[in-house]
């Protein structure tokens, strides 16, 4: 008998700087139960894992107990797939090297696999979303930063150390590049993340005098959502901010296409929801900058996973691949 029949569920855990969301997922990619806790409330990783388990166990027990769970998948910033550790994550409260997968296995007796959050989104997209059936694609997550998951020949690219595919930290501006949280200047994520869009808005509003709906908002409170709302109302300055952002991202994507010739590039995250305002300038910049042999071959797609669910679904997809604990 197929062990998936006996173990019909997996658990997905998405660890963010603010919240940790976890759920039980069936083979169709439906989250049948979920809950969350505040990540930052726990200074010690031990206390944090205890707290997640305290909330997760009742859910597991509702659906027949640990015997019904094939595996647990975790998506986390700086998560290393090879050894199940979180390593020196700048946005998490626990410093150093945390053997997180082992900590969950110890407490729950369920095999646990961990990867970084953007890779988890890519695996979710491949298992349940827009990349079903694709062997070569690049997932770009546009959130607080820019993350990426690269799939080649049907496999996630992890590199020799587990950290491959940090396309958000490709330097796109050499001259006077913006300072990035990584300590370098000019990284893609300083321009094309949600945070980057807000930064562009502040710069443009300061440098220019044109009328704009954005002037009604205190500069330091502007978000990428505000820029989108203004663009929808026909605000020229807001539309220009999207053109600027999309051009930088499209130029970078043209370079990424040269690397792995993906069937598709899938955009995920709040910023991707800006629809045509961001997609049009991205597509235009790809078309203008991509090498001739790749022209028109790579589709630009929007994620098919609900934002709130994607990270948990992606992490849970890892659960189907886990090996039995010996």
pLDDT of residue 240: 97
- Give the chain's domains with CATH numbers: 3-125+308-319 (3.30.420.40), 133-304 (3.30.420.40)
Q: DSSP secondary-structure letter at 222?
A: -
Q: Which residue bears the tokens 């505040």?
A: 38
> In sequence order, what are the residues at sequence separation of 6 or more whose Cβ sits closer than 8 angstroms to the Cβ of residue 55?
22, 35, 37
- The alpha carbon of 191 is separated from its chain's Cα centroid by a whole number of angstroms, namely 16
pLDDT of residue 324: 75
What phi and psi, each to the nearest 5 degrees, are found at residue 249?
-65, -45
Q: Is the pLDDT of residue 70 over 90?
A: yes
Neighbours of 3 (CB within 10 A): 8
Please, how many CA atoms are within 13 Å of residue 75, restricted to the half-sphere of its CB?
29
Q: Is 29 helix (H, G, I), strand (E, B) or coil?
A: coil
The mean per-residue pLDDT over the stretch 104-120 comes to 94
pLDDT of residue 321: 83
Nearest to 90 by CA among 53, 144, 38, 140: 144
pLDDT of residue 310: 82
Nearest to 118 by CA among 160, 158, 90: 158
Q: Where are the beta strands (DSSP E) in 81-208?
A: 85-87, 97-98, 112-116, 137-142, 146-152, 155-156
Buried b (16+ CB within 10 A) or exposed e, 145-160: bbbbbbbbeeebbbee
Beta bridge partners of 151: 137, 156
Lowest-confidence segment of 61-65, 99-103, 219-223, 268-272 by average pLDDT: 268-272
pTM for the model stands at: 0.89
d(CA 24, CA 5): 16
Provide the H-helix boundaries in 151-294.
189-192, 194-207, 224-232, 236-260, 276-289
State percent of the chain over pLDDT 90.
Answer: 81
Between residues 237 and 91, which one has the greater pLDDT? 237
pLDDT of residue 114: 95
Q: Is the pLDDT of residue 4 over 90?
A: no
Nearest to 235 by CA among 247, 249, 220, 222: 222
Q: Are 268 and 129 in contact (CB under 8 A)?
A: no
Buried b (16+ CB within 10 A) or exposed e, 295-321: eeebeebebebeeebbbbbbbbbbbbe
d(CA 192, CA 150): 18
Grade residue 5 by pLDDT with cuts at 50, 70 and 90: low
Grade residue 1 by pLDDT with cuts at 50, 70 and 90: very low
pLDDT of residue 185: 97
> In sequence order, what are the residues at sequence separation of 6 or more whose Cβ sits closer than 8 angstroms to the Cβ of residue 158?
81, 82, 119, 164, 165
pLDDT of residue 208: 94
d(CA 221, CA 267): 25
The mean per-residue pLDDT over the stretch 141-159 comes to 94
Grade residue 166 by pLDDT with cuts at 50, 70 and 90: very high
The mean per-residue pLDDT over the stretch 206-223 comes to 96
Angle of CA points 116, 33, 4, to nearest 5°:
75
Q: Is the pLDDT of residue 3 over 80?
A: no
The mean per-residue pLDDT over the stretch 213-229 comes to 96
| Residue-wise pLDDT tens digits, 232-258 | 999 999 999 999 999 999 999 999 999
d(CA 73, CA 70): 10
**Considering all CA atoms of the chain, what is the largest pairwise distance in Å, rounded to the nearest integer?**
70
pLDDT of residue 223: 95
Look over the chain and give the mean of its residue pLDDT values, rounded to a whole number: 93
| Residue-wise pLDDT tens digits, 279-300 | 999 999 999 999 999 999 999 9
Between residues 4 and 318, which one has the greater pLDDT? 318
State percent of the chain over pLDDT 70.
Answer: 98
């Amino acid at each position: 008998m197929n062990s998936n029949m006996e173990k019909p569920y997996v658990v997905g855990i998405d660890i963010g700087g603010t919240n940790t969301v976890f759920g039980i997922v069936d083979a169709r990619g439906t989250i049948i139960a979920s809950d969350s806790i505040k990540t930052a409330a726990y200074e010690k990783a031990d206390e944090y894992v205890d707290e997640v388990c305290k909330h997760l166990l009742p859910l597991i027990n509702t659906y027949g107990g640990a015997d019904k769970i094939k595996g647990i998948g975790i998506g986390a910033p700086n998560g290393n797939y090879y050894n199940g550790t979180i390593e020196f994550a700048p946005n998490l409260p626990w410093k150093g090297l945390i053997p997180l997968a082992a900590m969950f296995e110890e407490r729950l007796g369920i095999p646990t696999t961990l990867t970084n959050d953007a890779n988890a989104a890519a695996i979710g997209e491949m298992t349940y979303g827009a990349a079903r059936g694709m062997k070569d694609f690049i997932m770009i997550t546009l959130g607080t930063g820019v993350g990426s998951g690269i799939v080649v020949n049907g496999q996630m690219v992890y590199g020799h150390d587990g950290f491959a595919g940090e396309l958000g930290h490709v330097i796109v501006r050499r001259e006077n590049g913006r300072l990035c949280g990584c300590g370098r200047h000019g990284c893609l994520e300083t321009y094309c993340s949600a945070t980057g869009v807000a930064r562009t808005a502040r710069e443009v509003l300061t440098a220019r005098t044109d009328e704009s709906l954005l002037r009604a908002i205190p500069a330091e409170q502007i978000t990428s959502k505000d820029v989108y709302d203004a663009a929808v109302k026909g605000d020229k300055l807001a539309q220009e901010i999207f053109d600027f952002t999309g051009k930088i991202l499209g130029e970078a994507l043209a370079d990424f296409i040269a690397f792995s010739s993906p069937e598709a590039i899938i955009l995920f995250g709040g910023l991707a929801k800006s629809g045509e305002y961001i997609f049009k300038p991205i597509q235009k910049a790809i078309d203008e900058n991509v090498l001739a042999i790749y022209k028109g071959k790579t589709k630009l797609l929007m994620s098919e996973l609900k934002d709130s669910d994607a990270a948990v679904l992606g992490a849970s997809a890892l659960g189907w691949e886990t090996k039995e604990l010996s």
